[in-house]
A and B are shown apart, each in its own frame.
Chain A
Amino acid sequence: AQKITQTQPGMFVQEKEAVTLDCTYDTSDPSYGLFWYKQPSSGEMIFLIYQGSYDQQNATEGRYSLNFQKARKSANLVISASQLGDSAMYFCAMREGSDKIIFGKGTRLHILP
């Protein structure tokens, strides 16, 4: 069964608008971590933001924020004031246990000028 679900294979957003990338997860472990990564066409995976399952507040890193809704098991990424350089693949990931991290299928984001 898929543990990380990203339902948006592709999105087109106008530059300077905010964008929300969806991610839902499935786990029975009360302790877990959630991550978002950006992958530009060059292939490198760039860490964006992290949310721990016991964190009381939503994580924020500059223009990135994570809308963590624990009861709904969702961890959506919000990018404010999108820029052309934000065009990339975005992956949601979850750490279960101590060393295993699994990824969703990704969302390809296109920022339009």
Chain B
Amino acid sequence: ETGVTQTPRHLVMGMTNKKSLKCEQHLGHNAMYWYKQSAKKPLELMFVYNFKEQTENNSVPSRFSPECPNSSHLFLHLHTLQPEDSALYLCASSQVGALFSGNTIYFGEGSWLTVV
């Protein structure tokens, strides 16, 4: 059982829909991440939240809107997506600030998104 849970696991949405992906971590970590993984590109870092503050926005289009209400929850709000946004979206968490403690990044099982 993973310490990072993502819902839904699978989502099919139309280009005019509004939906959200949810991520929750039970590991007591202080940083959370959204990654995008598509068939044609390597794993791409989208957003990083450190102590609920966004510290990284990797040139992500505004149709993806992250929200981090607290250090345990992270959302990715989706609106007016394109078919090329179809991908696996992975949420992750880690404990930052202690680089040499083997503080790895733990992933959820991912949300498979299909935009039709």
In the complex, what distance in Å separates the CA atom of A33 from the CA atom of B96? 12
* A18-26, A41-49, A68-76, A80-88: which lies at the interface: A41-49
Whether B99 and A95, one on each chain, are in contact in the complex, defined by CB atoms closer than 8 angstroms, is: yes
B64 CB–A CB distance under 8 Å: no
Across the A-B interface, how many residue pairs have beta carbons closer than 8 Å? 68
Residues of the B chain whose Cβ atoms lie less than 8 Å from the Cβ of A50: 102, 104
In the complex, what distance in Å separates the CA atom of A35 from the CA atom of B50? 20
Q: Which residue of A lies closest to B50 (CB)?
A: A99
Residues of the A chain whose Cβ atoms lie less than 8 Å from the Cβ of B110: 43-45
B34 CB–A CB distance under 8 Å: no
Whether A103 and B42, one on each chain, are in contact in the complex, defined by CB atoms closer than 8 angstroms, is: yes
Shortest Cβ gap from B86 to chain A (Å): 14
Residues of the B chain whose Cβ atoms lie less than 8 Å from the Cβ of A42: 109
Residues of the B chain whose Cβ atoms lie less than 8 Å from the Cβ of A52: 99-100, 102
Residues of the A chain whose Cβ atoms lie less than 8 Å from the Cβ of B2: 44
Residues of the A chain whose Cβ atoms lie less than 8 Å from the Cβ of B103: 33
For the complex of A and B, the 7 pairs showing the least CB-CB separation, nearest first, are A45-B107, A103-B43, A105-B42, A99-B96, A43-B110, A44-B109, A98-B96
Chain A residues at the B interface, C-beta cutoff of 8 Å: 31-33, 35, 37, 42-47, 50, 52, 54, 91, 93, 95, 98-106
Sample of 30 A–B contacts (CB below 8 Å): A32-B99, A33-B99, A33-B103, A33-B104, A37-B107, A43-B109, A43-B112, A44-B2, A44-B108, A44-B110, A45-B92, A45-B110, A47-B104, A47-B105, A52-B99, A52-B100, A52-B102, A54-B100, A93-B105, A95-B99, A95-B105, A98-B50, A99-B56, A99-B94, A99-B96, A100-B45, A101-B45, A101-B94, A102-B45, A103-B45
